[in-house]
Structure 1
Amino acid sequence: MFGRRANRRRRSEIRLPGERGGRRTRAKILLAGLLVGAGAAYALLQAPVLLDAVGGVAPSMGSGETPVEVEAALAPADAAPMRHPAIDLVRSASLGPDGRMRAVLPDGRTATLTLDFELQRKMERILRDYRVPWGSLVAVEPGTGRILALAEHSAKGVAETAGLSLRPIAPAASVFKIVTSAALLEAGVGSDQRICYHGGLRRIRPAMLEDSRRDSRCVTLAEALGKSANVPFAKLAQRHLAPLQLRDMAERFFFDRPIALEGVDVVPSPLQMPDDPFEFATTAAGFHQGVRLTPLHGALVAATVANDGNLAQPFLVEAIDGQQVTSLPPRHVLDPLMAQELGRMMEQTVTNGTARAAFLERRRPALPGIRVAGKTGSLFERNPFRDASWFVGYAPLEAPRIAVSAVIVNEEIWHIRAPYVAREALRSYLLGTSPYRP
């Protein structure tokens, strides 16, 4: 009676207080977990999602930058279709027997476009197949301004799609750090200058701009750009720049200035530069909602750095009825040596910074042997929830052939973000690969 068998029988008959309820609770939790997992799996199956080794969404589909919270800033500028000759030309273009894209002008003449057919087709497909709520990819040739791709898509309908590439649908966010970096370099701040800080992932408070015992992290200006560290940029701008200096650099990069495309101005990227010292510092770090960016302009910002500090005027029509169209001369923005230094700083975004994971696939470089310079940006709003991600950049670093700008505005469930789209554009153009595996 008192042997091992009896002890086992007695233990099986004992019930601890609450044990039965605990088992029911665990069962409910398990069931809830299974339901959540099933919902996530269903969401992933709604688009041709690239999977990593363990079956989840690959890190390359996103971005390593912490998004900044904003208030009601991510909706497209308006829901009505935007009419611009460039948009009409892209939509009506067809492929000729010689592999060039052509469109008929309103006066009946035939325009030969600068678009790269394969790149344009692949980028339109990737945006469409992943059903992004709003998205655009613009690619240009840095030295000439030739537009290689002008792709856009909205899962919300055609009305909200037209002209996304030419509208400032989101704040520039941390992409504006490129402009701030250029102004700091011109003011004599070296890319290797170190600064220590604390906090500032999503918000910056005035106390963070003062040196403190809490400043446990130190970075160089180049590292701050690559990692998109907000407080270092705010600190450096407050100490080395004035609002007029930063505004001058931004205007040289064509913020708040119309960009002519096929003889018609594109909506400018608006620029608000506050005089208040704290507001100015946070604007320099990319926090101001009044500094917005069009995807076309984002590509031109990257192309300017790639082109030794010269902004080549963009154009889409290179010939009319076989006669070459004369392009406008480039505009000088930044000293060539400073532009080259800025490009090397931007490379850290891809090698060690916020886009590192996006430019790896299966832990290997997605563009082997090709050095890429870039800058990410990320922000979100809560009600309604929308998440915007940016990537602007160019490659190869030593002899740039293509500059890109991608913006993706997602809702709660997302499949891709801007760094992935930009990476696939670069890879498609430079290596001839397909954007994704079905």
Structure 2
Amino acid sequence: MKKILKKDQKNVDSKKRRLKVGFEILVFFLVIVAGFQYYHTYSYNTYSHRDILKPYLNELILSPLFLRQVSENEVILNLDNKRKAVFTFLPHLQKAGFEIFQKYNAPLGAFVAIEPSTGAVLAMVGQGDNYANKDFHLTLSSGYPAASIFKIVTLAACLEYGAIKPSELLQATGRLRCGDKYIRDSSNVPSGSITVTNALAKSCNTAFAKIALDLGAIPLKEYAFKFGFNSNLNFEMPVEISSAIIDNEPFSVAASGAGFGSINMSPLHGALIAATIANQGKMMSPYMIKKIVDKKGNALMEYRPYEAKAPILSSTAEIIKEMMIQTVHGDGNAHKSFYDKGGRPYLPWIKVAGKTGSLSNGNLNYTWFVGFAPVDNPQIAIAVMIGNYNTWKAKAGVVARELLKAYFNNNINEVSYHHND
């Protein structure tokens, strides 16, 4: 009886060992499969992807003639006779961008649209050749002054360092003296007390210069870097670094805080800043190729969106978002671009958050608009930069409105957020 029991026990032990070995083999197999799957879906910032795309993208001209639209929502680039790159671009928005720029015929214009939650580039359009660095695509060159778009960075730094409170009253003084130099407000800014919200909405230079001085050079430089200035932006095509040269000298700090000085920015970067506010303070890594497929359409590589950095807290982003809404829907600088003279909104079905910027540099007068919509569930973040000579052809805010209209008209069924002002 005991011998039989021992034999049975040996059989049980043997079965357990086989099951254990079998389980280990299964786990090993699953790990290999998962690893293989990951290998085929790795992020597009790896060297192998860049090696594949480099010959095709370095000379890429982003025009409707170069990219082939294969469906209503898909644009591809033939890499060779075996592989195709599928872009994130929305054909209708890309087309609208070209048509709007051709309509206004401004000497220089650039437009970038991004999906805030993923970093997918929905459109990249540029017009003109009057820009500083032709080694980069017009939308990826940082040869343009950031102007008052940098006030978003200044505001974020001041809020998170506790230099100001959202409810605080600032002072619009008309002009602010720093040594033997002055920073002046534009004529639309009344002198006197001004809320932080209105200071951003009306782009009050003296108020922002003063809070930048109170903050100091080191924190301002820190937040410039957090928002991507003075650092590389990871992207499939070369992107010129957006530079923010801020000296410790008081005038440099004050001027930089107000958006003057040596601060330049690419349109792609401008769209990313808006997308960061829209995405609760998280900056997603931008990308324009969502997958590479073989000639049968099977995915060889797929992009996985990832967070590049988180410059600010979600609570800070929410505060700035509410202030940016007033730039468009309150008494801010973008109001006239989004409302007619009778006070009727051009886009009554959506609410937009934005920030304007304007600055003359050399022989061009630059205007910016960066923003996102709908504010309650952002689907698109945009940056529009327009350069005019003395004869103005277009302003960035108006172009931004028309581009947003083109986007939402094509996606009207997805919009459930209505403007109630």
TM-score range, shorter chain: 0.7 to 0.9
CA distance in 2, matches of 1:176, 1:253: 10
**Separation of aligned partners in 1, 2:117 and 2:58:** 20
The equivalent of 1:367 in structure 2 is 347
1:252-267 matches, within 5 Å, as 252-262=226-236, 264-267=237-240
Among 307, 312, 328, which residue is 2:279 paired with? 307
Q: Distance in 1 between matches of 2:98 and 2:169?
A: 42
The alpha-carbon deviation at position 385 of structure 1 amounts to 3.4
SS at match of 1:407: strand
Q: 1:198 to 1:432 in 2, by over 3 A?
A: same
In structure 1, what is the equivalent of residue 210 of structure 2?
235
Deviation at 1:197, TM superposition (A): 2.9
Deviations 1:376-396 (A, max 9, x none): 110114xx6321101111011
The match for 1:298 is 270
- Give the Cα separation in 2 of the matches to 1:427 and 1:109: 35
Amino acid at match of 2:334: A
2:381 partner amino acid: A
2:239 aligned with 1:269: no
Q: Separation in 2 of the partners of 1:98 and 1:227?
A: 40
- 1:392 pairs, out of 347, 370, 383, with 370
Report the CA distance between 1:326 and its aligned residue: 2.5
5 Å matches for 1:350-429? 350-351=328-329, 352-361=331-340, 363=342, 364-381=344-361, 385-429=363-407
Partner of 1:224: 199
How far off is 1:192 after superposition?
Answer: 1.7
In 2, distance between residues paired with 1:114 and 1:206? Answer: 47
Residue number among 205, 224, 228 corresponding to 2:177 in the alignment: 205
Q: How does 1:423-438 map to 2 (within 5 A)?
A: 423-432=401-410
Q: Which amino acid aligns with 2:107?
A: P
SS of structure 2 residue aligned to 1:301 = helix
Q: 5 Å matches for 1:157-172? A: 163-172=137-146
For residue 336 of structure 1, the aligned residue among 291, 310, 314 is 314
Partner in structure 1 of residue 161 of structure 2: 187
Shift of 1:350: 0.7
Output the amino acid matched with 1:386: L
Shift in CA distance, 194/318, structure 1 to aligned 2, threshold 3 Å: same
Structure 1 residues 384-419: Cα deviation after superposition (integer angstroms, max 9, x where no partner): 632110111101111100000000111122221111
Q: How many angstroms apart in 2 are the aligned matches of 1:229 and 1:84?
A: 45
Give the superposition deviation at 1:98. Answer: 5.4
CA–CA separation in structure 2 for the residues paired with 1:360 and 1:87: 40
Choose the corresponding residue for 1:176, options 150, 155, 170: 150
SS at match of 2:109: strand
Q: CA separation of 1:107/1:308 partners in 2, compared to 1, >3 Å: closer, same or farther? A: farther
Deviation at 1:319, TM superposition (A): 1.2
Quick one: higher RCO (CA 8 Å, sep 6+), 1 or 2? 1
The change in CA–CA distance for 1:84 and 1:391 in structure 2 (over 3 A counts) is: farther
1:281–1:362: structure 2 CA closer, same or farther, 3 Å change rule? closer
Unaligned runs of 5+ in 1: 1-82, 210-214, 434-438
| Number of the residue aligned with 1:280 | 253
Deviations 1:202-229, CA, capped at 9 Å, x for gaps: xx532879xxxxx941111111000000
- TM-superposed CA distance for 1:146, in Å, is 0.6
Unpaired runs of at least 5, structure 2: 1-54, 184-189, 412-421
Give the Cα separation in 2 of the matches to 1:249 and 1:156.
Answer: 30
Alignment match, 2:78: 104
Q: Distance in 1 between matches of 2:117 and 2:325?
A: 19
Residue 250 (structure 1) aligned with residue 224 (structure 2): yes
RMSD across aligned positions (CA): 2.5
**Percent of matched pairs sharing the same residue:** 34
The alignment partner of 2:348 has SS state of: coil
From the superposition, tell whether residues 96 and 184 of structure 1 become closer, same or farther in structure 2 (CA, over 3 Å): same
Deviates more, 1:296-305 or 1:371-380: 371-380
Would you say the 8 A contact 1:226–1:346 is kept in 2? yes
Moved over 3 A (4+): 159-162
Residue 422 (structure 1) shift: 1.2
**Separation of aligned partners in 1, 2:90 and 2:282:** 23
Letter aligned with residue 354 of structure 1 = N
**The residue matched to 2:290 in structure 1 has which SS?**
strand
Distance 1:151 1:250 in 2: 26
Rounded to whole Å, the distance in 2 between the matches of 1:118 and 1:86 is 24
1:228-260: CA deviation from partner (whole Å, max 9, x where unpaired): 000001111212x12111111111110111111
Instruction: For 2:336, give the aligned amino acid.
Output: A
Rounded to whole Å, the distance in 2 between the matches of 1:116 and 1:126 is: 16
| Match of residue 94 from structure 1 | 68
Asked if structure 1 preserves the Cα contact closer than 8 Å seen for 2:118 and 2:305, the reply is no
**Structure 1 residues 284, 222: CA separation in 2 closer, same or farther (over 3 Å shift)?**
same
Structure 2: how far apart are the matches of 1:398 and 1:113? 27
1:89–1:103 Cα contact (<8 Å) kept:
no
Match of 1:115 in 2: 89
Matches within 5 A, 1:38-53: none
Letter in 2 for 1:345: M
Whether 2:326 is the aligned partner of 1:348: answer yes
Question: CA offset at residue 86 of structure 1?
Answer: 7.0
8 Å contact from structure 1 (residues 165, 295) kept in 2: yes
Please report how far the alpha carbon of residue 129 of structure 1 lies from its aligned counterpart in structure 2 after TM superposition.
2.4
DSSP-derived class of the 1:430 partner: helix
User: What is the rounded CA distance, in whole Å, between the counterparts of 1:99 and 1:216 in structure 2?
Assistant: 50
